[in-house]
Amino acid sequence: MAISRRGFIRVLGTSAVILGAGGLALTQVDQMPAQAIEGWKGPPPNVRDPRVRALSYALLAPNPHNLQPWIADLREPNAITFILDRTRRLPATDPFSRQITVGCGAFLELLRIGAAEYGYRADIVAFPNGDWPTSAVGDQPICRVAFVPEPNVARDPLLAQVLKRRTNRSPYDATPVTEGEASAIHASMAQFPVQFGWTSEAGELAKLRNIAKRAWDIEINKDATYYESVKVYRITADEILKHRDGLSFHGPFFWSMRALGLFSKEKALSGDTTVRQQSLDFINGQLANTPAFAWIVTETNDRRGQLAAGAAYVRANLKATELGLAMQPLSQALEEYPEMLPMLAEHKRALALPESSTVQMFFRLGRAAPTEPSPRRALDDIIRA
Ligand SMILES: Cc1cc2nc3c(=O)[nH]c(=O)nc-3n(C[C@H](O)[C@H](O)[C@H](O)COP(=O)(O)O)c2cc1C
Nearest CA to ligand 1 atom 21: 66
Neighbours of 263 (CB within 10 A): 25
Provide the pLDDT confidence category of residue 4 given band limits of 50, 70 and 90.
very low
Report whether 384 contacts 75 (CB < 8 A): yes
Q: What is the pLDDT of residue 16?
A: 44
Q: Give the chain's domain count.
A: 1
Is 53 among the domain residues?
yes
Closest C-alpha residue for ligand 1 atom 12: 329
Q: Which atom of ligand 1 is nearest to the CA of 167?
A: 26
Q: What is the mean pLDDT of the chain?
A: 93
Task: Give the percent of the chain with pLDDT over 70.
Answer: 93
107: confidence class by pLDDT, cuts 50, 70, 90:
very high
Most confident of 18-32, 252-266, 306-320: 306-320
**222 alpha-carbon distance from chain centroid:** 22
Q: For residue 54, what pLDDT is reported?
A: 98
CA of 364 to the centre of ligand 1 (A): 11
Biggest alpha carbon–alpha carbon distance for the chain? 62
Q: From CA 256, how far away is CA 250, in angstroms rounded?
A: 10
364 vs 16: CA distance, rounded Å: 35
In the predicted structure, residue 23 carries a pLDDT above the cut 80: no
In a domain, 336, yes or no: no
Distance CA 295, CA 102 (A): 13
Which tens digits make up the pLDDT trace of 190-236? 999 999 999 999 999 999 999 999 999 999 999 999 999 999 999 99
**What is the b/e burial string over 355-377, where b = at least 16 CB atoms within 10 angstroms of the residue's CB?**
eeebbbbbbbbbbbeeeebbbbb
Q: Is residue 176 a part of any domain in this protein?
A: no
Give 10 Cα–ligand 1 centroid separation in angstroms.
Answer: 32
Question: Is 312 within a domain?
Answer: no
Question: Regarding predicted confidence, which is higher, 26 or 245?
Answer: 245
For the entire predicted model, the pTM comes to: 0.94
pLDDT surpassing 50 at residue 156: yes
Residue 266 within a domain: no
Pick from 166, 185, 187: which is nearest to 60 by CA? 166
Question: How crowded is residue 77: how many other Cβ atoms within 10 Å of its Cβ?
Answer: 7
DSSP 202-243: HHHHHHHHHHHHHHHHHHHHSHHHHHHHHTTEEESHHHHHHH
Does ligand 1 have an atom closer than 6 angstroms to the CB of 188?
no
Helix, coil or strand: residue 169: coil
List beta partners, residue 196.
296
User: Rounded to whole angstroms, how far apart are CA atoms 299 and 115?
Assistant: 29
pLDDT, one tens digit per residue, over 71-96 is: 999 999 999 999 999 999 999 999 99
Within-domain flag for 356: no
Range of the domain at 96: 41-162
pLDDT tier at 25, thresholds 50, 70, 90: low
- pLDDT per residue over 295-312, tens digit each? 999 999 999 999 999 999
68 lines ligand 1 (CB under 6 A): no
pLDDT at 19 > cutoff 70: no
Confidence at residue 12, expressed as pLDDT on a 0 to 100 scale: 46
The answer to whether residue 375 sits within a structural domain is no
Rounded (10°) CA dihedral 309, 312, 317, 323: -150
With a 6 A CB cut-off, is 329 part of the ligand 1 pocket? yes
338, exposed or middle or buried, with CB in 10 Å at 0-12, 13-18, 19+? exposed
Query: Ligand 1 pocket check: which of 1, 57, 63, 314 to mutate, most ligand atoms within 8 Å of Cβ?
Result: 63
Ligand 1 atom closest to residue 168's alpha carbon, by position in its atom list: 26
- The vertex-66 CA angle with 325 and 272, nearest 5°, equals 105
- Helix (H) and strand (E) counts in the chain: 13, 11
- Stretch among 80-94, 161-175, 264-278, 335-349 having the lowest mean pLDDT: 264-278
How many CA atoms lie less than 13 Å away from 91 in the CB half-sphere?
A: 4
What CATH number does the domain containing 116 carry? 3.40.109.10
For residue 29, the one-letter residue type is: V
Q: Are 81 and 122 a contacting pair, CB within 8 Å?
A: no
Q: Say yes or no to pLDDT of 360 above 80.
A: yes
Query: Does residue 66 line the site of ligand 1, with CB under 6 A?
Result: yes
Helix ranges restricted to H, the chain: 5-22, 50-58, 98-117, 179-187, 202-221, 223-230, 237-243, 252-259, 265-269, 273-288, 303-323, 341-350, 379-382
**Is the C-beta atom of 166 inside 6 A of ligand 1?**
yes
DSSP 268-311: HHTT-HHHHHHHHHHHHHHHHT-SEEEEEEESS-SHHHHHHHHH
CA angle 137, 59, 309 (to 5 degrees): 55
Q: Does 373 or 136 have the greater pLDDT score?
A: 373
Residue 120: pLDDT above 90? yes
pLDDT recorded at residue 24: 56
Tell me, what's the pLDDT at 318?
99
Q: Which atom of ligand 1 lies closest to the CA of 313?
A: 31
| Residue 30 Cα to ligand 1 middle (Å) | 23
The residue type at 357: S
Residue 13 is predicted with a pLDDT of 46
Q: What is the pLDDT of residues 238-283, one digit of tens each?
A: 999 999 999 999 999 999 999 998 888 988 888 888 888 888 888 9
Domain annotation covers residue 21? no
